[in-house]
Structure 1
Amino acid sequence: MTGLDETDLALLRILARDSAQSAGALGRRVGLSQPAAWRRIRRLEEAGFVTGRSLRLDPGALGLGVTVFLGVKLATKGRVSLEDFERAVCAIPEVRRVEHVLGLYDYRLRVVARDLADFERVLRRRIMTLPGIGNVEANVLLTEERFPGPL
C-alpha cells in the first residue's frame, strides 16, 4: 500500500478513538459494506499503519494510586550494555513504560504503585539494584489532563 486515501484516513481516525468497533459499524460510518471495511482495515494492518489495538485501564481503579516518572542516568555506559539495563528494567511489573531518550537522562520510566510507601519499596529493592543504575530523579504525577492518542 503506497498511500492513504480519504476513506483510509477516516477509518484510522475512528479506530484511534474506539478500536473496539466492529467492521460493520466502521463501514457504516465511512460508507462501506462490512466486508469492504474489514478488507481495508486488514490492508492497513498489513501495511503497518495499524500495529495493534489496545485497552486502557484505570490505574486508580485497580488500586495503583501513585504514578511516578523517573529520569535515569546510567552510571557508566561502557560498563553495562543498554540491552542489559532494558531487559532488567522491563522485567519489573511496576515499570509501565521505558523510553530511551536524549538529554540529561538516558531513560525515562513510568512507574505505578499502590502508594508512596509501595513506590519507595519498588525504588529501593528493584530499580536502584538495576545493572548500571546511576542518578535517578523522581517526579510524582499529580493529574493527567490529556491521555495520549495512537500517535
Structure 2
Amino acid sequence: MTGLDDIDRAIVRMLARDAAQSAGAVGRSLGLSQPAAWRRIRKLEQAGVLRGRRLRLNAESLGFGVTVFLGVKLATRGRVSLEDFERAVSAIPEVQRVEHVLGRYDYRLRVVARDIPDFERVLRRRVMTLPGVGEVEANVLLSEERRPGPL
C-alpha cells in the first residue's frame, strides 16, 4: 500500500483503541456504510497495515503477579545458532516476548510468573538450561504507566 488517506488513518486509530469494533461501528463513526468500512479494513489487512486483532489479557488477574525483563547474552555464538535459542526460548510458556536486540545483551525477554519463587523456578529450570545461555540480567517490573499502542 503506497499511502494512507485520512479515512484509512482514522480506521487504524479506531481499531488500535478497540480492535473488537465491527465494520458497521467503524463506518458509522466515520460516515461510511458498513460495506465501505469493511472493504477499507480488508484492504488495510491485505496490505499488511493491520496484522490481526489481539486480545490483551490482564496477567495479574490471571494470577501472574510478577513481570521480569531478562537481558540474555549468549555464551558462544559459534556453537549455538540464534534460531536454536529463539526456538527453545519461545517454547517456554512464561516467556511472553522475545526480542533480538543490539547492545550489551543479545536478547531481551519479557517473563511473567506467579511470584518471585515461581520466577526463580522459571529462571533456573527453564531459561538457564537453554542452549548457549551465558550471562543473564533480571529487572523486575514495578509499574507500567503506558502499554504499547499504535505508532
**Common topology (TM > 0.5):** yes
Aligned counterparts of 2:120 and 2:90: Cα–Cα separation in 1: 18
The TM-score, its normalising length taken from structure 2, stands at: 0.98
The alignment's C-alpha RMSD in Å is 0.7
2:149 counterpart SS class: coil
Aligned residue number for residue 4 of structure 1: 4
2:10 counterpart SS class: helix
Kindly provide the CA deviation profile for residues 11-46 of structure 1, in whole angstroms up to 9, marking residues without a partner as x: 001011001001110001111000000000000000
Q: How does 1:4-83 map to 2 (within 5 A)?
A: 4-83=4-83
CA apart distance, 1:131: 0.1
Deviation beyond 4 Å, 4+ runs, structure 1: none
- Amino acid aligned to 1:23: A
1:7 counterpart SS class: helix
Aligned residue number for residue 125 of structure 2: 125
Aligned counterparts of 2:134 and 2:97: Cα–Cα separation in 1: 19
Aligned counterparts of 1:4 and 1:83: Cα–Cα separation in 2: 35
2:97 counterpart SS class: strand
CA apart distance, 1:3: 1.3
Kindly provide the CA deviation profile for residues 84-103 of structure 1, in whole angstroms up to 9, marking residues without a partner as x: 00000000000000000000
Which blocks of at least 5 consecutive residues in structure 1 are unaligned? none
Q: Would you say how many aligned residue pairs link Structure 1 and Structure 2?
A: 151
Which blocks of at least 5 consecutive residues in structure 2 are unaligned? none
Aligned counterparts of 1:4 and 1:23: Cα–Cα separation in 2: 18
